Amino acid sequence: MQIIKTVEELRPIIQEWRSQGLSVGLVPTMGYLHAGHKSLIVKAVSENDRVVVSDFVNPTQFGANEDLSTYPRDLERDAAVCQEAGASLVFHPEPEEMYAPDSCTFVDMDSLTKGLCGKSRPTHFRGVCTVVCKLFHIVTPDRAYFGQKDAQQLAVIRRMVRDLNFGISIVGCPIVREADGLAMSSRNAYLGEEERKAALILHSSLALGEKMLEEGERDARKVREAILGRLNTEPLARVDYVELVDAESLEPVEKAEKPILAAIAVYIGQTRLIDNFTFAGGQQG
């Protein structure tokens, strides 16, 4: 498995694969890979002849006061995970390789990016769309793989691909959790021992909301309040948002009668964690 650092080196490799009629899958990541990322790579390997994993901490998706400089990095370990999962190549560019000093072109979106995480991270999705768009142009994959844990990101990328006519299939993959229910995230590495225990409140609060829906509750406000109430029982938790939204438009819903996304963002100490579940909807039973 190769580690490639420049676009110039990567393009001929992709062209060679293409000339052999091979299909290409892309797994975009910011590195510090965990079992969630590995599940994306394994799926991509099962569906494509060649798989590129991009490993790039993308500066344009971090706000001024966010954790760009401290974001965990470990290329050696990432390469081992990629190799074990069967990836063909890791693309690990430096920021200067991806962004010219006078780079001034961005991909942005009018809706879908304003609510949920977009409220407290107003430039985040512009950075995500821009880098994913660049990776799509560089790698020209047939399929690209994203985790459902970043549900808003997945919806945004699906919309970008539709709106800008990328001929790429976007494959959403299920959330991978630790044995105790905490959704896997590179940012879990920031949690101290007490915070790690406190972080379980995200999953248990969502489980409460999901149970209410499964038992027939359709009033989104009641479900939202129950999730919020449970989150507020944890002294180390500070809620950023709890929202029940339409799974596709990401607009808030009053009734959970169509497919919905229940999404939360919560600070545990200084660490902002997100989690969610989807619910198929349907009339109250």
Which residue among the candidates 37, 92, 124, 203 is catalytic per the annotation?
Answer: 37
β strands within 103-247, DSSP E:
143-147, 169-173, 237-246
Q: Is 137 a catalytic residue?
A: no
What distance in Å separates the CA atoms of residue 229 and residue 225, rounded to the nearest whole number?
Answer: 6
Give the CA count within 13 Å in the CB-facing half-sphere of 284: 7
The footprint of ligand PAF (CB under 6 A) covers 28-30, 58, 61, 128, 131-132, 150, 153
Comparing CB distances to ligand PAF, the nearer of 30 and 112 is: 30
In 3D space, the residue among 216, 218, 217 whose CA is nearest the CA of residue 254 turns out to be: 218
Comparing CB distances to ligand PAF, the nearer of 59 and 115 is: 59
What distance in Å separates the CA atoms of residue 210 and residue 277, rounded to the nearest whole number?
Answer: 8
Comparing CB distances to ligand PAF, the nearer of 131 and 212 is: 131
Comparing CB distances to ligand PAF, the nearer of 123 and 232 is: 123
Determine contact, residues 38/76, Cβ cutoff 8 Å. Answer: no
β strands within 67-221, DSSP E:
89-91, 143-147, 169-173
Task: Please identify every residue annotated as catalytic.
Answer: 37
